[in-house]
């Protein structure tokens, strides 16, 4: 979570704000990923339960085909989730990186402009904008914290645990491993 709200200049505050929004976006992506993986695991368990309940009326071949088809479809679904969320993560990371570089470049150009013209208008404007930007940044950090708590709730982990560890092991894989054990 971003905690650099104390930045004294506008570009620092803006960069912190961008990073906080990026973290919030990553948290939303993780909630989507984890929620869909949990749903896939739930559906796999329900399917297997339904097949087991009706196993007396099904031939062994039909039962095996039904389970294999469900596992294949769930596998595609999980791969689709991973593909889309990994792409979204990459897009957010690139957007945050480019936005931060843009803010820094604007700050450099503003300083050069003030130096070349001999006026400090842009610097004064930036100093005047810092308190408002810091206030917005504080709100963004609170939103980021709430989104982090949501990830923790969806993943079932305690706040502060690394979600990336959960991200790599889907609920479907956990259910399959538990059944095999």
The pLDDT tens digits for 151-176 are: 988 887 654 444 444 344 444 444 44
Q: pLDDT of 64-78, one tens digit each?
A: 999 999 999 999 999
49-55, Cβ contacts within 8 angstroms, sequence gap of 24 or more: none
Tokens 């095996």 label which residue?
64
Identify which has the larger pLDDT, 4 or 177. Answer: 177
3 state SS of 144: helix
Q: What is the pTM of this model?
A: 0.73
Q: Taking the alpha carbons of 72, 74, 49, 173 in that order, is the dihedral positive or negative?
A: positive
Alpha-carbon dihedral 115, 117, 118, 122, rounded to 10 degrees: -70
Output the CA–CA distances (angstroms, integers) from residue 138 to 21, 29, 131, 135, in the order listed: 11, 22, 11, 5
Mean pLDDT for the chain? 84
For residues 103-110, give the mean pLDDT.
92
Q: pLDDT of 1-57, one tens digit each?
A: 444 444 578 999 999 999 999 999 999 999 999 999 999 999 999 999 999 999 889
Q: pLDDT of 113-146, one tens digit each?
A: 989 998 988 888 888 999 999 999 999 999 999 9
Six-digit token string for 94: 């690139």
Q: pLDDT of 40-55, one tens digit each?
A: 999 999 999 999 999 8
* CA atoms of 166 and 131, how far apart (whole Å): 38
């Amino acid at each position: 979570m971003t905690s650099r709200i104390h930045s004294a200049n506008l570009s620092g505050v803006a960069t912190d704000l961008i990073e906080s929004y990026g973290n919030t976006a990553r948290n939303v992506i993780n909630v989507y990923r984890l929620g869909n993986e949990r749903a896939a695991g739930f559906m796999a368990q329900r399917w297997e339960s339904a097949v087991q309940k009706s196993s007396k009326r099904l031939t062994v071949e039909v039962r095996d085909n039904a389970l294999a088809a469900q596992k294949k479809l769930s596998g595609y679904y999980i791969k689709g989730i991973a593909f889309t969320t990994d792409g979204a993560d990459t897009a957010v990371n690139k957007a945050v990186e480019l936005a931060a570089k843009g803010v820094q470049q604007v700050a450099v150009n503003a300083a050069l402009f003030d130096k070349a013209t001999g006026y400090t208008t842009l610097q004064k404007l930036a100093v005047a904008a810092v308190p408002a930007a810091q206030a917005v940044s504080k709100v963004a950090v609170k939103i980021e914290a709430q989104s982090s708590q949501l990830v923790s709730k969806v993943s079932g982990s305690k706040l502060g645990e690394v979600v990336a560890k959960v991200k790599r092991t889907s609920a479907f894989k956990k259910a399959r491993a538990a059944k095999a054990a």
